[in-house]
């Protein structure tokens, strides 16, 4: 990006990780909470719409319970999250109130994104809160969400929220400065990459494992978040949370961290298909169908389908793989798996003969299909 000045951004999402909210002892870092509050309150006073995605419920619960390490069993993690979420919100309420800002707790689960009606309801709720001048404090509902605790990080959640509300900027605050050319803990010659405009295999090879003992996310989850944000038409910045006034400095264009440039924006429905909806099955297609989808922007017809996997119904999201087995697209299918198995490889004119009736010519219409590129 020629200009990293985000001062004209109207709506932004800020994500802060567990390790940035706690000391090495596991106790909450009150200074960090205050710094977050004063910076976001100031941006709020400038007329910007702010959404804060916070990790730390499990970590806060550990401190309250006197534990030094994350528990290993799922019930213990969920219990720690149940205790810690209240502690977390108490801290945010306290510090934001000092600057006259009202905050509201929003707990989301993966189902709130994968179900279209719940997705739209969450979107409307966020807009209502922003319209009332409230800063939503968003977290994964760790107490009941097994999958999120297993994945262990809110990077993806923050990117999904960015798309949910059509934000222009996502700032990921972490205990790292950004993306490096190599692991700086092992290679003293490693340098930070200031700007990334495409996440290719070379960039993905730079991702390491999980970070600190309190947090469980690593660079892999951040790159996945960047993909989602970029296809939302948003820029994303990874920066170190401990840097003084880091959010203000990022927004005003200081060259800190790594910025991921906005990509080709998907419309809201297609973004939901690609990144939020639950994939129920898989359709494998031949070379001709792959070329028609990727090169010519066509719909998927039954003649190009060579294999159907999974159990899905009409209206479910499925992934589409090419001849080499790699996913090339996702889409909403017009036919259930059992129906598709009967008509795959056949011409459109044969559908009614095989099934007894025909509602659609296409297996997946191009308006309900998103290429994975």
Residue 334 burial class via C-beta count within 10 angstroms: exposed 0-12, middle 13-18, buried 19 and up: buried
Q: Any idea what DSSP says for residue 197?
A: S
Residue 316 labelled as part of a binding site: no
Residue 55 labelled as part of a binding site: yes
| Nearest Cα to Cα of residue 264 among 237, 295, 227 | 227
How far apart CA 190 and CA 187 sit, in angstroms, is 6
Greatest alpha-carbon span in the chain = 70
Residue 175 labelled as part of a binding site: yes
Length of the chain measured in residues: 373
Residue 222 labelled as part of a binding site: yes
Residue 27 labelled as part of a binding site: no
How far apart CA 298 and CA 292 sit, in angstroms, is 5
Tokens of 290: 């792959």
Residue 288 labelled as part of a binding site: no
Residue 219 labelled as part of a binding site: yes
Residue 125 labelled as part of a binding site: no
What are the distances in angstroms from CA 141 to CA 106, 170, 208?
9, 21, 26
How far apart CA 219 and CA 12 sit, in angstroms, is 21
Q: Which long-range contacts (CB under 8 A, 24 or more apart) does 308-311 make?
A: 308/281, 308/282, 308/283, 308/284, 308/337, 308/340, 308/341, 308/344, 309/281, 309/282, 309/283, 309/284, 310/280, 310/281, 310/282, 310/337, 311/280, 311/281, 311/337
Residue 348 labelled as part of a binding site: no
How far apart CA 31 and CA 13 sit, in angstroms, is 21
How far apart CA 40 and CA 17 sit, in angstroms, is 16
Q: What is the CA radius of gyration of the chain?
A: 22
Residue 15 labelled as part of a binding site: yes
Residue 221 labelled as part of a binding site: yes
What are the distances in angstroms from CA 353 to CA 275, 287, 339, 350?
36, 26, 12, 5
How far apart CA 89 and CA 52 sit, in angstroms, is 12
Tokens of 259: 């910025």
Residue 333 labelled as part of a binding site: no
| Binding residue numbers | 15, 55, 142, 154, 174-175, 216-222
| Binding residue numbers for ATP | 15, 174-175, 216-222
| Binding residue numbers for substrate | 55, 142, 154
């Amino acid at each position: 990006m020629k200009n990293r000045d985000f001062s004209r951004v109207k709506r932004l999402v800020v994500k802060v990780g567990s390790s940035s909210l706690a000391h090495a002892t596991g106790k909450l870092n009150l200074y960090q909470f205050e710094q977050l509050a004063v910076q976001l309150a100031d941006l709020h006073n400038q007329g910007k719409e702010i959404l804060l995605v916070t990790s730390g419920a499990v970590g806060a619960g550990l401190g309250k319970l006197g534990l030094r390490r994350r528990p290993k069993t799922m019930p213990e993690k969920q219990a720690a999250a149940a205790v810690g979420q209240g502690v977390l919100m108490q801290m945010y309420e306290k510090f934001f109130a000092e600057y006259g800002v009202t905050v509201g707790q929003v707990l989301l689960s993966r189902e709130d994104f994968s179900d279209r009606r719940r997705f739209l309801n969450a979107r409307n709720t966020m807009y209502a809160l922003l319209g009332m001048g409230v800063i939503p404090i968003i977290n994964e509902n760790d107490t009941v969400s097994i999958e999120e605790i297993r994945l262990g990080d809110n990077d993806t959640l923050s990117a999904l929220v960015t798309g949910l509300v059509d934000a222009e900027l996502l700032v990921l605050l972490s205990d790292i400065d950004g993306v490096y050319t190599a692991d700086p803990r092992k290679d003293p010659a490693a340098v930070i990459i200031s700007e990334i405009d495409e996440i290719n295999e070379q960039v993905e090879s730079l991702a390491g494992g999980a970070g600190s003992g309190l947090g469980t996310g690593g660079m892999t989850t951040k790159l996945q978040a960047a993909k989602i944000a970029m296809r939302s038409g948003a820029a994303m910045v990874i920066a170190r949370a401990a840097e003084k006034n880091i959010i203000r400095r990022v927004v005003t264009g200081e060259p800190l961290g790594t910025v991921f440039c906005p990509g080709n924006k998907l419309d809201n429905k297609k973004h939901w298909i690609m990144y939020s909806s639950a994939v129920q099955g898989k359709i494998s297609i031949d070379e001709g169908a792959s070329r028609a989808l990727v090169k010519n922007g066509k719909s998927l017809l039954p003649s190009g389908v060579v294999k159907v996997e999974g159990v899905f119904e009409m209206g479910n999201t499925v992934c589409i793989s090419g001849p080499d087995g790699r996913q090339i697209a996702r889409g909403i299918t017009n036919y259930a798996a059992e129906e598709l198995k009967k008509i795959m490889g056949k011409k459109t004119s044969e559908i009614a003969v095989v099934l007894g009736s025909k509602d659609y010519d296409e297996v997946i219409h191009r308006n309900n299909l998103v290429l994975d590129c």
